[in-house]
Chains A and B, each alone.
Chain A
């Protein structure tokens, strides 16, 4: 009868898909807090995210929804620690979130458009052939299999470093993540080669 506090399917799917890595992030960062407490914090963070969206605070969200959510998780946990007067927290090495240096710089992307003459700069970029190519590329990205989707989306959209991604997904090290990312980019390049428009340089 009553609408659950988070009844929205899309948001629930998002929270379900990101739950494991979010808890892993909190566990890694606040290693002496019991999992039960972290789950409570996670639940409250989910409600906070829902309420922020509902009140329109995220209508003009500039970053990724997930990195924003992880910021909420972090703030909620630290507030919980303060409110519960927990003295000793054994932080793992500080890992920044949304550090400007870790995000893709749009001005730099524009530089590359000019220097390398990227597809957007092609004379034919408005042609039907190019649009079809672009649609295939996006479809390829949407259907990217794991672990490429996890690694590349986190790196290029959430703005996480390889080290952070390794922590979030429980990889052995930053280098493992980097190697995986390089493999995925190579696969993507091969995919592009197969579908590249005939006018492509």
Chain B
């Protein structure tokens, strides 16, 4: 063993540990003053401190950026629209008409549906939408399904959102509205989460159980139900 090298290594390690102890507030006042004096008089230690601080700052900045990217990505995802046109264009059009009906109200809905959607919607479906508006969900404050889902994500306007989602869920479950079957599970899941966020856990579980009864392989609903009723009901 080269004693000189070994001595250098020990010295370096010693400096490194001193720096870490200082940065973690593990020095006494006396030790700190001694450490300060050493930095000011020992150029080798001074350079080590410069490199050490650079390493720490670089790690903290890169890792903070990485964590922020994850958080921002989840937040972005929870705010973006859930569906796009394309292979679901027909369903989307139907759902959009449904939402529009809610937005503009009962009368305008008929006008719009007559002019724009007559070719797309069956008379039975229109009847269901009419039925929906008759059941009191034609609130002009509701802008779109996406808005409702976003409200759930962000825990905003929950009472109102639950009212709308409940009505939509009831309609989408109806056997006549085949065109919006695709949305039943999505609306149901969102409704369950909304109930849970609103402190109505029993209702949240009921919705999930209904979804599971419809499709016993709905793993998301099964997991969420377990989460709501299970050991972690009142997680921090």
Q: What are 27 A-B contacts defined by CB distance under 8 Å?
A: A1-B186, A3-B82, A44-B232, A47-B223, A58-B71, A64-B64, A66-B67, A80-B231, A104-B23, A104-B56, A108-B22, A108-B25, A112-B19, A118-B54, A120-B57, A134-B58, A141-B58, A152-B55, A153-B63, A156-B56, A182-B12, A182-B16, A185-B52, A186-B12, A188-B51, A188-B55, A201-B46
A101 touches which of B13, B24, B51, B78 (Cβ 8 Å): B24
Q: Give Cα A168 to B24, complex, Å.
A: 20
Q: Using a CB-CB cutoff of 8 Å, which residues 173-190 of chain A contact chain B?
A: 178, 181-182, 185-186, 188-189
Question: Do residues B53 and A109 form an inter-chain contact, with CB atoms below 8 A?
Answer: yes
A127 at the interface (CB under 8 A from B): no
B182 at the interface (CB under 8 A from A): yes
For the complex formed, measure the closest distance between the CB of A115 and the CB atoms of chain B, giving whole angstroms. Answer: 5
* B235 neighbours in A (Cβ, 8 Å): 44, 48, 75-76, 79
Given contacts A50-B74, A112-B22, contact A5 B220 (CB under 8 A): yes
A102 at the interface (CB under 8 A from B): yes
5 additional A-B pairs beyond A112-B22, A181-B16, beta carbons within 8 Å, are A105-B23, A112-B19, A116-B39, A152-B59, A157-B63
Interface residues of A (CB under 8 A from B): 1-5, 7-11, 14, 44, 47-48, 50, 53-56, 58-59, 61, 64-66, 72, 75-76, 79-80, 83-84, 100-105, 108-109, 111-113, 115-120, 134, 137-138, 140-142, 152-153, 155-157, 178, 181-182, 185-186, 188-189, 192, 201
Q: Give Cα A4 to B220, complex, Å.
A: 6
* B230 neighbours in A (Cβ, 8 Å): 44
Q: Using a CB-CB cutoff of 8 Å, which residues 178-236 of chain B contact chain A?
A: 182, 185-186, 189, 197, 218, 220, 223-224, 227, 230-232, 234-236
Q: Give Cα A192 to B52, complex, Å.
A: 10
Query: Main SS of chain A's interface residues?
Result: helix
For the complex formed, measure the closest distance between the CB of A47 and the CB atoms of chain B, giving whole angstroms. Answer: 6
B77 at the interface (CB under 8 A from A): yes
Question: Do residues A54 and B75 form an inter-chain contact, with CB atoms below 8 A?
Answer: yes
Q: Give Cα A146 to B23, complex, Å.
A: 24
B62 at the interface (CB under 8 A from A): yes
Question: Do residues B57 and A109 form an inter-chain contact, with CB atoms below 8 A?
Answer: yes
Question: Do residues A117 and B232 form an inter-chain contact, with CB atoms below 8 A?
Answer: no
Most buried by B among A2, A48, A120, A138: A2
Question: Do residues A109 and B63 form an inter-chain contact, with CB atoms below 8 A?
Answer: no
For the complex formed, measure the closest distance between the CB of A195 and the CB atoms of chain B, giving whole angstroms. Answer: 11
Q: Give Cα A67 to B17, complex, Å.
A: 23
Most buried by A among B39, B58, B182, B218: B58
Question: Do residues B236 and A75 form an inter-chain contact, with CB atoms below 8 A?
Answer: yes
Q: Give Cα A111 to B24, complex, Å.
A: 13
B220 touches which of A2, A113, A116, A189 (Cβ 8 Å): A2
* A84 neighbours in B (Cβ, 8 Å): 231
